Amino acid sequence: MIGSKISSRYAKALFSLGQDDGHYEEYGQNLNEFVGFCSANSEFIRVVSNQIFPVEDRKKVLEAILEKSPFSDVVKNFLRLLVDKNRIAAIDGITDYYSRLTDEFSNITRADIITAKPLKTKALDNLKRALTGLTSKDVRTDVKQDGTLIGGLIVKIGDLVLDGSVRTQLEGLKESLKRGEYN
């Protein structure tokens, strides 16, 4: 909860700067790239976020990376600030929240689609169109496959969950039978 609050505060601050200078999308891309780098180099983020090492030493390590990166100066300064304030470990949460702010500002919503079998392109387009009509926002999808659904699919948009899976239908049928609704 505290981490979430910290992430939202830092993300809002950076997004506010991006809104002012009109580069909020670029900053978002930079953050995503940095998070991707951290994921690929877990040793790096462990060192930079470890408070056993002096801040100056950690900043030197970060600086060595930033010098070779194409990130904007604002993002570089933002990352330096995070190291100074010992909040660099929250970079994942900050980036996620920043993405949500960007999407909201751009009238974009994200839909997590979980399907039992791979979706055909036409079906995915139709689904996107239906979801756009439902949310009145541009929908960006993230499709994952889960065989335990047996058939059908589940769509999650924020707190909204649309469940069309066979597994859930079977569960519903089972619960109905247990309640004796089919006697």
Partner 1 sequence: MILFSGKKGKVVFIAALTLIGIFILCSLGFASEGGGHGGADGSQRLWDLGARFLNFAILVIILFVVIKKTDVKDFFSGRRAEIGQKFEDLKKERDAAEGRFRKLEDELKAFETKKKEIIQQFEAEGVAEKKKIIAEAEERARQILEQAGLTIQREIQAAKDRLAMEMVEAAAQRAQGIIEKEITDSDQDQLVNEFIERVEKLH
Residue with tokens 């899976």: 165
What does the block give as tokens for 135? 């949310």
Which one of 22-30, 44-52, 72-80, 173-181 is the stretch in contact with partner 1 (CB under 8 A)? 173-181
Nearest to 31 by CA among 78, 83, 65, 68: 78
Shortest distance, CB of residue 108 to partner 1, whole angstroms? 18
Q: Which two tokens stand for residue 65?
A: 């990376």
Question: 123, 138, 145, 158: which one contacts partner 1 (CB under 8 A)?
Answer: 123
Check residue 162 for interaction with partner 1 (CB under 8 A): yes
Pairing of strands 108-115, 138-145: parallel
Site map for partner 1, 140-159, x if CB under 8 A? ----------xxxx-x----
Return the bridge partners of 108, or none: 138
Q: Does 119 bind partner 1 (CB under 8 A)?
A: yes
CB closer to partner 1 out of 25 and 125: 125
**Rounded CA separation 16/10 (Å):** 10
Binding residues for partner 1, total number by CB under 8 A: 27
